[in-house]
């Protein structure tokens, strides 16, 4: 039988007097998980500290590796945010004496130098443009007349795309090939005073290629087409485009090859746009991808102007540029895209 008071430190002795529990020394810490007041202490989150030579890829366990990667990303995000706040406070303290903000590094501004980049004051480039195949258009000697056709037996999506493209390009006509070869189509187009021929190719019912041939002497460009969106597939689209001639915007065609492609696109549209229609066609070159958009201006007030997309939209990637009209067998090519030889650096562009 156990004696009363032996088990606990604060029990009673034989005389009935209560024994006092031994007092803790001043330097002794309270028990784990309890404060001096007796309330349990809340565990503090440990900072995610990683040694300099730490590599998450060396962790074999997949779940543990994912957990450590998430912690590492959170730590990087906190450090970046703290550095940004510190820099903002320093700039506010300096006021007008603060140094200019650094320009962020992008693939575009870190572009590899290309010796074919055109200088606007280059006399040789001006002479070439004055005597090239598009000179008659820019000298207002001819007006554009475009024929739009497709590959053999086109599907519904390609047919609708051609019809919508004809509403974007003024004075364009859509005809279906019905098995007729391009070598036979081109002489008929020249005899009927067409200035350009556009061929839309498809694969598995989806438009995937565009051939643009300038008549009667070329050149001919072959593009890969992707990201095609018809009008009904565009959110918050505007009403149907009108028959007014749109403005044309050509962005970032800086090299000699880019100038040729830009002039080829510009020759599809009349020289004098009708500003009353408030329509604009944009060919934007970014990293050798040409993005096409068709918009309408919306004047909200005297100072605010918005835009509304009309469609269609698509993206082009140049595959080859051929001298003369279309001739896949004996044609002379000015430029051909060779991925293994040309795409050695992400910072090298050709347009």
Structure token digits, residue 130: 């004055």
Structure token digits, residue 169: 């390009």
Structure confidence at residue 301 (pLDDT): 85
pLDDT greater than 70 at residue 342:
yes
> What are the start-end ranges of the E strands in the chain?
146-150, 172-174, 196-203, 206-214, 220-229, 247-251, 279-286, 289-299, 305-309, 313-322, 333-336
Give the CA distances from residue 174 to residues 101, 197, 317, 323, in Å, rounded to whole numbers and listed in that order: 52, 10, 23, 25
pLDDT greater at residue 234 or residue 20? 234
CA distance 185 to 197: 9
pLDDT greater at residue 333 or residue 50? 333
CA distance 127 to 138: 13
β-bridge partners, 317 = 224, 289
pLDDT greater at residue 214 or residue 104? 214
Helix (H, G, I), strand (E, B) or coil at 205: coil
Q: Where are the domains of the chain?
A: 123-343
Topology, domain 123-343: Rossmann fold (3.40.50)
pLDDT greater than 80 at residue 311:
yes
CA distance 349 to 108: 9
Which range, of 31-35, 41-45, 314-318, 339-343, averages the lowest pLDDT?
31-35
pLDDT greater than 80 at residue 150:
yes
What backbone torsions phi and psi does residue 163 show, to the nearest 5 degrees? Answer: -65, -40
pLDDT greater than 90 at residue 178:
no
pLDDT greater at residue 99 or residue 50? 99
pLDDT greater than 90 at residue 112:
no
Residue given tokens 């492609």 in the structure block: 261
Of the candidates 102, 82, 86, which has an alpha carbon nearest to the alpha carbon of residue 94?
86
Gyration radius from the chain CA atoms: 36
Structure confidence at residue 121 (pLDDT): 81
- Relative to beta strand 146-150, strand 172-174 is parallel
Most confident among 16-20, 28-32, 123-127, 325-329 (mean pLDDT): 123-127
Helix (H, G, I), strand (E, B) or coil at 322: strand
Of the candidates 168, 177, 170, 231, which has an alpha carbon nearest to the alpha carbon of residue 200?
177
Of the candidates 239, 199, 242, 205, which has an alpha carbon nearest to the alpha carbon of residue 223?
199
Structure confidence at residue 50 (pLDDT): 64
Structure confidence at residue 226 (pLDDT): 95
CA distance 303 to 104: 30
Give the largest CA-CA distance in the chain: 130
What confidence tens digit (pLDDT) does each residue in 159-177 have? 999 999 999 999 999 998 8
CA distance 338 to 334: 13
Structure confidence at residue 25 (pLDDT): 44
């Amino acid at each position: 039988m156990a004696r009363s008071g032996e088990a606990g430190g604060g029990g009673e002795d034989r005389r009935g007097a209560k024994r006092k529990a031994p007092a803790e020394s001043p330097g002794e810490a309270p028990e784990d998980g309890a404060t001096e007041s007796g309330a349990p202490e809340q565990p503090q989150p440990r900072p995610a500290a990683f040694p300099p030579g730490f590599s998450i890829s060396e962790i074999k366990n997949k779940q543990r590796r994912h957990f450590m990667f998430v912690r590492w990303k959170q730590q990087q995000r906190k450090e970046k945010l703290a550095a940004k706040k510190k820099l903002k406070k320093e700039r506010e303290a300096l006021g007008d004496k603060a140094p200019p903000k650094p320009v962020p590094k992008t693939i575009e501004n870190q572009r590899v130098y290309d010796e074919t980049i055109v200088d606007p004051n280059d006399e040789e480039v001006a002479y070439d443009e004055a005597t090239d195949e598009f000179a008659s258009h820019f000298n207002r000697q001819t007006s554009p007349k475009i024929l739009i056709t497709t590959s053999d037996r086109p599907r519904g999506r390609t047919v609708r795309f051609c019809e919508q493209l004809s509403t974007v390009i003024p004075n364009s006509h859509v005809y279906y090939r019905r098995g007729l070869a391009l070598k036979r189509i081109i002489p008929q187009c020249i005899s009927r005073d067409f200035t350009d021929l556009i061929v839309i190719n498809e694969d598995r019912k989806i438009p995937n290629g565009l051939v643009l041939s300038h008549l009667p002497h070329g050149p001919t460009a072959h593009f890969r087409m992707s990201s095609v969106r018809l009008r009904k597939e565009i959110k918050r689209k505007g009403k149907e485009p009108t028959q007014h001639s749109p403005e044309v915007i050509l962005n970032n065609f800086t090299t000699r090859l880019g100038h040729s492609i830009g002039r080829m696109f510009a020759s599809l549209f009349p020289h004098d746009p009708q500003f009353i229609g408030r329509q604009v066609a944009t060919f934007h070159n970014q990293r050798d991808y040409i993005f096409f958009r068709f918009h309408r201006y919306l004047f909200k007030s005297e100072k605010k102007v918005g835009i509304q997309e009309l469609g269609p939209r698509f993206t082009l990637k140049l595959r080859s540029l051929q001298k003369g009209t279309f001739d896949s067998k004996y044609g002379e090519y000015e430029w051909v895209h060779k991925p293994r030889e040309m795409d050695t650096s992400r910072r090298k562009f050709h347009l």
